[in-house]
Structure 1
Amino acid sequence: MVRPVSLALLSLGLTSAALAAPKDPVKFAVTLEQMRGHYDASLLNYRNGDLAMAAKHAKHPANELYAAVRGDLTPALQKRFTADYALINQTLAAKKPYAEYQKVMNTFSADVDAALATLGATRNDPKFAAQVIAQILENAEHEYEEGVQGGKVTNLAEYQDAIYYVARARMWFDRNARGFPQHQREKTTQAFKDATAVIARKGDVKALEQAVDQAKEELAEISGVQQAAASSNATYFANIDRLLGAAKSHYAGGMGDDAEEALIDAYLDNFEYLEGPLAKKDKALETKLEKTLREDLRTLLKSKPSAQKFSAAVDAALVDLKKARALLGE
């Protein structure tokens, strides 16, 4: 599971030209790095002979994350990304040698670099990089919380996501560290070491949270942009209700892509935060809602149903969300 979250755009040091596209440069970069993180994990599992886990990681970039960046890619890059996804899946399904799987992954990574290059000077701005790093680390913390309980891995995919998200954040840090003030650079370096050690020993999530918070504090000093405080469960539910309503309106108005984007935001930016608390109350309901919001509604959308049929499916999801809200006391 994955969770790309929007941050405030840079308020200082970036020109309007640099921000012309994509709409939200930080979210754009973070989502692309999440894709690479998933494929890094897929490669590891492929090399180790666990093709089922390799396939599980490989499905997220195309099935969940691509729609979040599609509108910000040039038509040429859209074609390259979709071709990459198809070739990756074909290579995986054919059980080609590891070297071939790695080769197609490298091609995709090069296309990600081409997409990031559309950010222009923004990509090399230390303030921007600090925001990207902070958000990737926050996503890693969330994946770790879902993947490790009591010193044991309870969800291998989520645990591996945490490992590779931190690795991706570290790559951004290493590439931009020279542009950071020495104090913040040193403190963030130590925070990365602490976070990596916690994950390696499958330590308590509170220890990882402490390391990530330390890194985020230093990165905020660099960027000048503080991350928003965590939203309440009530806020997440309200956001989901609003986004699902928007999805219905968009689809009825013939804007299928906008409807899909609303569905993605409802799941990735909101419901993922509710999964842990809800699973403790009613695992079956949590699993049902996760599948509905992550897969079923989007699959239905792509089949181009009538507006009435799509609206009815969304309304059914809202009924289940009402039950979940009651269980969590919201």
Structure 2
Amino acid sequence: MIRRASFIFLGLALSSAALAAPKDSVKFAVTLEQMRGHYDASLLNYRNGDLTMAAKHAKHPANELYAAVRGDLTPALQQKFLADYARINQTLAARKPYAEYQKVMNTFYADVDAALATLGTTRNDPKFAAQVIAQILENAEHEYEEGVQGGKVTNLAEYQDAIYYVARARTWFDRSARSFPQHQRDETAAALRDAAAVIARKGDVKALEKAIDQAREELAEISGVEQAAKSSNATYFANIDRLLAAAKGHYAGGMLDDAEEALIDAYLENFEYLESPLAKKDQALETKLEKTLREDLRALLKSKPSAPKFNAAVDAALTDLKKARALLGE
């Protein structure tokens, strides 16, 4: 009977993992690695005594990124992630010794590995790994553009994100390199070294772009997925309009999680790429829109307002986005 119960439990566990198959496996893995990158940066700042910056990095995984993967996690992993976030924040707030902060982080990292394990054999597919590495590097390039101007760090958090995103990409590369064809492996390794060197010396963003484009070209050869052209500002604005409209529709239909995911995508996958050019035209408008799309609409959503109230807030954001579009000539 004990063995029979064990097999039943195992079967349930495997079924649970199967049910958690992500809608977009690459996005799922990349988002989890972004979480790790933020927490790696938080650990560095905590060890160095900069608790303000440690807290800034620590808030992103729970406050922004979790919503993007929540629906792809098993119920058990959802509970573990939420418990991990709570422990991390409590340890940070209590200013516990660094060793304790690192310990709670390591627990979260183990749960991230468990989440990645739900991908099954996909996780070990070199073509999949190449796509994940390429996307992490693209995110690193964007963070660097936001964090460094003229050889000087203008936004420390974004600069540190770039450092640790490249480090996470390197971890995936080292884990998968043996499965890559030698030429692409060598060229990608060289490009990764060049990217890290540019970031370390706070070099010109064009130099980083060149290194990352080289890496992504080689990774595209491995994955067989053609490197996508960078989206235009017009495309980002169109995506935001579509996602905000979807958020209103989901909310009206009582699908709060789907509405929140649409809001997250509007900000993380689109508006973030408009922040820098918009700030150069109108810093106040950029700051207002960032807060609206990143925090205010989601906070309102969680308060469960009437549909007309939620729609009115979204429409106000769309009005500001129309102003931003005009400023950027779109």
TM-score band, normalised by the shorter chain? over 0.9
Q: How does 1:246-265 map to 2 (within 5 A)?
A: 246-265=246-265
Give yes or no for contact 1:141–1:209 (8 Å, CA) kept in 2: yes
1:265 positional shift:
0.7
Task: Kindly provide the amino acid, as one letter, of the partner of residue 169 in structure 1.
Answer: A
How far 1:19 sits from its partner (Å)? 11
The correspondence of residues 114-133 of structure 1 with structure 2, limited to 5 A, is: 114-133=114-133
Asked whether 1:136 is paired with 2:136, we answer yes
Query: In 2, distance between residues paired with 1:184 and 1:21?
Result: 29
Equivalent position of 1:80 in the other structure: 80
The Cα of 1:227 is off from its aligned counterpart by 2.7
Deviation at 1:34, TM superposition (A): 0.2
Matches within 5 A, 1:1-330: 21-330=21-330
Q: Which has the higher helix share?
A: 2
- C-alpha separation in 1, matches of 2:197 and 2:141: 13
Q: Distance in 2 between matches of 1:223 and 1:206?
A: 25
Deviations 1:114-145 (A, max 9, x none): 00000000000000000000000000000000
Counterpart amino acid of 1:326? A
Measured against aligned partners, the alpha-carbon deviations of 1:173-227 in whole angstroms (never above 9, x if no partner) come to: 0000000000001001100110011000000000000000000000000000013
Shift of 1:328: 0.7
> Retained in 1: the 8 A contact 2:38–2:164?
yes
Tell me, in whole angstroms, the C-alpha distance in 2 between the residues paired with 1:322 and 1:192.
Answer: 38
1:83 and 1:303 map into 2 onto residues whose CA distance is 22
1:38 aligned counterpart, secondary structure: helix
* Structure with the larger RCO, 1 or 2 (CA within 8 Å, 6+ apart): 1
For 2:292 and 2:101, the matched residues in 1 are separated by: 31
8 Å CA contact 2:20, 2:118 repeated in 1: no
User: Aligned in 2, Cα 1:246/1:329: closer, same or farther, shift over 3 Å?
Assistant: same
List runs of 5+ in structure 1 lacking aligned partners. 1-16
Partner AA of 1:122 in structure 2: T
Conserved 8 A contact 1:19-1:25: no
Q: How many Å separate the matches in 2 of 1:197 and 1:241? A: 38
Q: Is the 8 A contact 1:18 1:122 kept in 2?
A: no
- Provide the C-alpha distance between the structure 2 equivalents of 1:150 and 1:85, rounded to a whole number of angstroms: 36
In the TM superposition, structure 1's runs of 4+ consecutive aligned residues that sit over 4 Å from their partners are 17-20
Looking at structure 1, the residues matched to 228 and 294 of structure 2 have their Cα atoms a distance apart, in angstroms, of: 25
User: After superposition, what is the alpha-carbon deviation per residue over 1:13-72, rounded to whole angstroms, capped at 9, x for unaligned?
Assistant: xxxx99981110000000000000000000000000000000000000000000000000
**Distance in 2 between the 1:88 and 1:302 partners?**
22
In the alignment, residue 74 of structure 2 is paired with which amino acid? T
1:232 to partner: Cα distance: 1.3
Q: Residue type of the partner of 1:33?
A: E
- Normalized against structure 1, the TM-score is what? 0.94
Tell me if the contact between 1:126 and 1:222 (Cα under 8 Å) persists in the aligned partners: yes
Amino acid across the alignment from 1:108:
F
Aligned residue for 1:5? Answer: none
> TM-score with structure 2 length normalisation?
0.94
* Distance in 1, Cα, partners of 2:20 & 2:320: 39
Residues 293-312 of structure 1: CA distance to partner in whole angstroms, max 9, x if unpaired?
Answer: 00000011011111111111
Deviation by residue 1:273-302 (Cα, 9 ceiling, x = unmatched): 111110010000001000000000001101
Q: In 2, distance between residues paired with 1:267 and 1:20?
A: 25
Once residues 282 and 305 of structure 2 are traced to their aligned partners in structure 1, the CA distance between those partners, rounded to angstroms, is 31
**For residues 302 and 19 of structure 1, what CA distance do their matches in structure 2 show?**
26
Q: Is this contact kept in 2: 1:289–1:317, CA < 8 A?
A: yes
Distance in 1 between the 2:60 and 2:283 partners? 22
Aligned residues: 314
Identity %: 89
**Alignment partner, residue 14 of structure 2:** none
Secondary structure at 1:22 match in 2: coil
